[in-house]
């Protein structure tokens, strides 16, 4: 996949060029207009989480890795300077683990 710190917009531009796709084609696949895609590719706008599945399928990338990178960057950008971020993340992990266990038990 891409380098760890590569922005998603830059990744889309690189992959679009590599595959020879037009901006129009990629924009249609992502359900956005060409001007928004152009802004995403040039770092003026951020990729929306709902686009990750389509991006992974369009460019044959790991959806799991894309989502992990997307969520990690979003969390770090927004909350990394908060004094209790690690405690909050541990709490989230605990809650998510409990919910996952409950859903497995209910099957």
Q: Where are the domains of the chain?
A: 8-80
CA neighbor of 45 nearest in space, from 61, 30, 29, 58: 30
Query: Nearest CA to 13 among 35, 33, 42, 36?
Result: 42
Q: Residues of 67-92 as b/e, b for ≥16 C-beta within 10 angstroms?
A: eebbeebeeeeeeeeeeeeeeeeeee
The reported pTM is 0.78
Do 15 and 61 touch, CB atoms closer than 8 A? yes
Q: Please check whether residue 57 is in contact with residue 47, taking contact to mean a CB–CB distance below 8 angstroms.
A: no
Task: Decide if pLDDT at 4 tops 70.
Answer: no
Q: Dump pLDDT digits (tens) for 10-49.
A: 999 999 999 999 999 999 999 999 999 999 999 999 999 9
**What pLDDT score does 1 carry?**
40
- How much is the pLDDT for 7? 86
Architecture (CATH level 2) of domain 8-80? Orthogonal Bundle (1.10)
pLDDT at 6: 60
Q: Helix, strand, coil proportions of the chain in percent (round to 5)?
A: 70, 0, 30
Residue matched to tokens 């993340």: 89
pLDDT tens string 51-84: 999 999 999 999 999 999 999 999 999 999 999 9
């Amino acid at each position: 996949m891409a380098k760890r710190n590569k922005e998603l917009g830059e990744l889309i531009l690189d992959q679009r060029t590599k595959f020879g796709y037009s901006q129009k084609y990629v924009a249609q696949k992502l359900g956005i207009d060409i001007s928004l895609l152009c802004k995403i590719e040039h770092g003026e706008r951020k990729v929306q989480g709902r686009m990750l599945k389509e991006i992974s399928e369009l460019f044959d990338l790991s959806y799991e890795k894309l989502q992990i990178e997307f969520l990690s960057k979003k969390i770090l950008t927004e909350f990394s300077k908060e004094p209790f971020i690690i405690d909050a993340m541990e709490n989230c992990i605990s809650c998510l683990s409990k919910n996952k266990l409950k859903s497995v038990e209910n099957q």
